[in-house]
Amino acid sequence: MSDTPLQIYIDGEFYSKENAKISVFDHGLLYGDGVFEGIRFYNGRVFQHDEHIERIFDSAKAIHLEIPVSKQELGDIVLATIKENKLQDGYVRLIVTRGAGELGLSPYRCEKASIIVIASTISLYPEEKYEKGLILATCATRRPTHDSLSPAVKSLNYLSNVMAKVECMAAGAEEGVMLNSEGYVAECTGDNIFIVKNGIIYTPTVASGSLYGITRTVVINLVREAGYELREVQMTRYDLYTADELFLTGTAAEVVPVAEYDKRKIGTGTTGPITKELIGAFRNLVETTGTAIY
């Protein structure tokens, strides 16, 4: 971590952590009305920078939220915030809220969207979890359906994910599997899901309720480059229970193996060979590619 005090970007200015504030009338606070991205940077390079900027604009468009800067300008703001904090490795939380308005649901009373960027360090899981694997449990809370709030929108309304996290932690697990309304596997509380069975790699379709994960897409490409077959399918808990290997992908988690799910040992109960290969390929990619910050 840099010795520089944390500086947070809010609507064109940088503020210390203690002085970074938004209005209590901001619709992001009042109604979860906004979108966000989690972005990683390594060795002075932002990983999948353009893809994250593209996705937040897609999420904003889906909820009829106008981001008050261009894609290029928003990307530059992210880079400037990392520079301001003098960081080489870390995590960015990019947030666009509807902005301050009045009490009441109407988004048209908010004059202008607000942009907030936090750049800091992150360590979601200790290194031993990448060697031994996580413990998973099924959550009672279901993933929102496409006819309610589309799972493709990375919105500030994350309460279902939070409740699912509470449930899996209460069960003694570190991550939770969320099902869709039909009982098919969607994703975890913050990660996409992959399994390996007989040398073939499977992942739930986005129609099942999973996010269009950027790390998910990167890993799919790595899988195919390595010569493995990849299938996107509807997946049940049975498929996870009987998998040879199970691993999760996400911006913060990267690629992390699973050792146990619902008290059932996955494969040998440790990181499988294909998962280990993909972890290595992913780490090599993040260390050697990305948009230069400095």
Query: Where do the structural domains in the chain lie, given as residue ranges?
Result: 7-120, 127-288
What is the per-residue pLDDT for 1?
47
Q: How far apart are CA 59 and CA 151, in angstroms?
A: 10
What is the per-residue pLDDT for 5?
81
What is the per-residue pLDDT for 104?
93
- State which fold the 7-120 domain adopts: D-amino Acid Aminotransferase; Chain A, domain 1 (3.30.470)
pTM: 0.94
Q: How far apart are CA 126 and CA 172, in angstroms?
A: 17
Low-confidence ranges of the chain (pLDDT < 70): 1-4
Return the amino acid letter for 36: F
What is the per-residue pLDDT for 3?
61
Whether 7-120 shares its CATH topology with 127-288 is answered no
- State which fold the 127-288 domain adopts: D-amino Acid Aminotransferase; Chain A, domain 2 (3.20.10)
What is the per-residue pLDDT for 124?
78
Three-state secondary structure readout of the chain? CCCCCCEEEECCEEEECCCCCCCCCEHHHHHCCEEEEEEEEECCEECCHHHHHHHHHHHHHHCCCCCCCCHHHHHHHHHHHHHHCCCCCEEEEEEEECCECCCCCCHHHCCCCEEEEEEECCCCCCHHHHHHCEEEEECCCCCCCCCCCCCCCCECCCHHHHHHHHHHHHCCCCEEEEECCCCCEEEECCCEEEEEECCEEEEECHHHCCCCCHHHHHHHHHHHHCCCCEEEECCCHHHHHCCCEEEEEECCCEEEEEEEECCEECCCCCCCHHHHHHHHHHHHHHHHCCEECC
What is the per-residue pLDDT for 187?
96
Torsion angle of C-alpha atoms 197, 203, 204, 207, degrees rounded to 10: -140
Catalytic residue ranges: 154
